[in-house]
Amino acid sequence: MPDSESNKTSINKLGKIGLIDLITDKSKPVNSSTLSVIGDDAAIIDSGKLLTLVSTDLLLEGIHFNLIYTPLKHLGYKAVIRAISDIYAMNGTPHQILISLGISARFSVEQIEEIYEGIYLACEKYNVDLAGGDTSSSLTGLTIGVTAVGSVEKDKTVKRSGAKPNDLICVTGDFGAAFMGLQLLERERRLFEKEKVTQPDLSGSEYAIGRQLKPEFPAEVLTELRNTDIRPTSMIDISEGLSSDLLQICKLSHTCCRIYYSKIPIDYETSKLAEEFNIDPIIPALNGGEDYELLFTIPLEAAEKIKSIQSVKLIGHMTEQGLGNFLVGDDGSEVKLSAQGWK
Q: What is the largest CA-CA distance in the chain?
A: 64
Q: Measured between alpha carbons, how far is 95 from 127 in angstroms, rounded to an integer?
A: 7
H helical segments located in 53-100: 72-88
pLDDT digit string (tens) for 253-283? 999 999 999 999 999 999 999 999 999 999 9
If you average pLDDT over residues 58-84, what whole number do you get? 95
> In this predicted structure, what is the pLDDT of residue 13?
67
* Buried/exposed code over 176-207 (b: 16+ C-beta within 10 A; e: otherwise): bbbbbbbbbbeebeeeeeeeeeeebeeeebeb
| Whole-Å CA distances, 188 to 85, 112, 191, 224 | 29, 26, 5, 40
If you average pLDDT over residues 140-166, what whole number do you get? 94
Assess if CATH 3.30.1330.10 describes domain 3-153: yes
Among candidates 169, 182, 302, which has minimal Cα distance to 236? Answer: 169
What phi and psi values does residue 64 have, to the nearest 5 degrees?
-100, -15
Query: What's the sign of the alpha-carbon dihedral 292, 298, 300, 303?
Result: negative
Homologous superfamily of 168-336 in CATH?
A: PurM-like C-terminal domain (3.90.650.10)
- How many Å separate Cα 201 from the centre of its chain? 28
Q: Which of 19-23, 61-65, 165-169, 301-305 has the lowest mean pLDDT?
A: 19-23
- Domain ranges in the chain are 3-153, 168-336
- Which one-letter amino acid corresponds to residue 29? P
Instruction: Kindly tell me if the per-residue pLDDT of 20 is higher than 60.
Output: no
- Secondary structure of residue 322 in the 3-state scheme: coil
Please give the share of the chain, as a percent, with pLDDT higher than 70.
85
Instruction: Kindly tell me if the per-residue pLDDT of 183 is higher than 90.
Output: yes
Give 124's contacts (C-beta < 8 A, 6+ positions apart): none
Q: Measured between alpha carbons, how far is 109 from 255 in angstroms, rounded to an integer?
A: 51
Q: Measured between alpha carbons, how far is 217 from 15 in angstroms, rounded to an integer?
A: 27
pLDDT, the chain, mean: 89
> In this predicted structure, what is the pLDDT of residue 1?
46
> In this predicted structure, what is the pLDDT of residue 28?
58
Among candidates 85, 95, 89, which has minimal Cα distance to 52? Answer: 95
pLDDT digit string (tens) for 146-155? 999 999 998 9
- How many Å separate Cα 296 from the centre of its chain? 13
pTM over 0.85, yes/no: yes
